[in-house]
Amino acid sequence: MSIDALSERPRSRSRAAQPASHSFSTAGQPSRAAQPYSNAAQPAMSRIFTSRLAEDWSLSPLHRQIEVPLEKRTHTRPLPLPTTIVVTIGGVQCRGQYEGHGQSKVVYLLDSRCGNIWGGKMLKVCRLYDQEPHLFKQMEESAVYPRVYAINRCMEYNSVAQPVYRWYAWVCEYAKPLDMCIAQDGVTDDVIRRCIAGTIRAMLRAATRGHHLSDNGLYNFGMIRSNVVIIDAGSKTDCDMTSKADSTRSVCVSSGPSSILMCRIHTLEAFKRHGRTPLTP
């Protein structure tokens, strides 16, 4: 398999549809009553949100859920949202299917068969304000982040159209997570080495612009048209811009070796899952 084939979008899932009531957990969610959205201690929203700030996006569970087994989910934490949603963005409605979740975000792939401008892109929702979309827009010219198309608030509704919670949300370019890319059958050792080199390149370019990743595991990188990009900004941003040389030395000393080690660990795990011989040093 060539490196260009790694970033292909997944085909529509064929899992059997399941009743919505069994599709997601409510553990750890806020009260089912509508929650107010607070701007306290957050950056000025007028500088971050794109158009239609006065009009929230909305999401609700699709009446028939495409179930994602626990072993196929990207984290062991309870999923706070349905696996299959109907989302309305700027008056345009489309379906979203669970792609992953972590400590604070849930990610959906918007159905490309809808035939609208959002099809094939990613919807990310976060319970509180997140630096990621603003940072990615700021750093767009570096070419090591997915493009962010729109940012807004998104109101969650339950199956009986009652408001549940107002999320912070954005739509961005689709990038296939790198740990999933290298775990595919047919991926050669040479392609994996190029992917690992791409993560180092992405971290170096980000560091010279003041962004130092707090977690450099492969799951925080993705592939867009054979280009490795950073898909999770992490929990902190170092914006104290020293010289490019100082930043480069810093990421080489502190982030580079640990990233290589983390990449190698993920690579070995992927090889074990597929019964392949690991890379030789």
Lowest mean pLDDT among 2-11, 137-146, 189-198, 230-239: 2-11
Give the span between the Cα atoms of 61 and 95, in whole angstroms: 10
> What is the overall mean pLDDT for the chain?
75
Lowest mean pLDDT among 67-71, 121-125, 239-243: 239-243
Is 75 in contact with 25 (CB distance < 8 Å)? no
Give the span between the Cα atoms of 207 and 241, in whole angstroms: 9
Question: In this predicted model, which residue has the larger pLDDT, 269 or 84?
Answer: 84
**CB proximity list for 140: less than 8 A, separation 6 or greater:** 147, 148
If one counts the domains in the chain, the total is 2
Q: Are 91 and 110 members of one domain? A: yes
Give the span between the Cα atoms of 274 and 192, in whole angstroms: 14
For the ranges 14-23, 149-158, 190-199, the maximum mean pLDDT occurs at 149-158
pLDDT at 10 over 50: yes
Give the span between the Cα atoms of 126 and 96, in whole angstroms: 15
Look at residue 200 and tell me if it is in a domain. yes
Q: Which amino acid is at 115?
A: G
Tokens of 227: 């280009």
Question: In this predicted model, which residue has the larger pLDDT, 41 or 222?
Answer: 222
Lowest mean pLDDT among 32-46, 210-224, 245-259: 32-46
pLDDT at 233 over 50: yes
Q: What is the pLDDT of residue 234?
A: 79
CB-based burial label for 116 (10 Å; 0-12, 13-18, 19+): middle
Question: In this predicted model, which residue has the larger pLDDT, 25 or 154?
Answer: 154
User: What 3-state DSSP class applies to 67?
Assistant: coil
Lowest mean pLDDT among 95-99, 113-117, 167-171, 239-243: 239-243
Among 143, 172, 201, give the residue marking a domain's end: 172
Give the model's confidence band at 112: pLDDT under 50 very low, under 70 low, under 90 confident, else very high. Answer: confident
Look at residue 108 and tell me if it is in a domain. yes
Q: Are 180 and 168 members of one domain? A: no
Look at residue 4 and tell me if it is in a domain. no
Tokens of 82: 């349905």
Q: Are 149 and 218 members of one domain? A: no
What is the total residue count of the chain? 281
Domain that holds residue 69: 10-172
Question: Residue 200's closest CA among 266, 268, 263, 270?
Answer: 263
Among 172, 204, 231, give the residue marking a domain's end: 172
Lowest mean pLDDT among 6-10, 45-49, 133-137, 165-169: 45-49
Tokens of 2: 């060539």
pTM of this prediction? 0.70
Q: What is the pLDDT of residue 74?
A: 86
Q: What is the pLDDT of residue 221?
A: 95
Tokens of 174: 């689709």
Among 151, 172, 193, give the residue marking a domain's end: 172
Q: Are 109 and 190 members of one domain? A: no
The stretch 50-61 carries a mean pLDDT of 73
CB-based burial label for 258 (10 Å; 0-12, 13-18, 19+): exposed
Tokens of 98: 């669970």
The stretch 132-159 carries a mean pLDDT of 94
Q: What is the CA radius of gyration of the chain?
A: 19
pLDDT at 281 over 50: no
User: What 3-state DSSP class applies to 87?
Assistant: strand
CB-based burial label for 196 (10 Å; 0-12, 13-18, 19+): buried
Give the span between the Cα atoms of 176 and 193, in whole angstroms: 17
Q: Which residues on neighbouring strands pair with residue 230, listed in sequence order?
A: 221
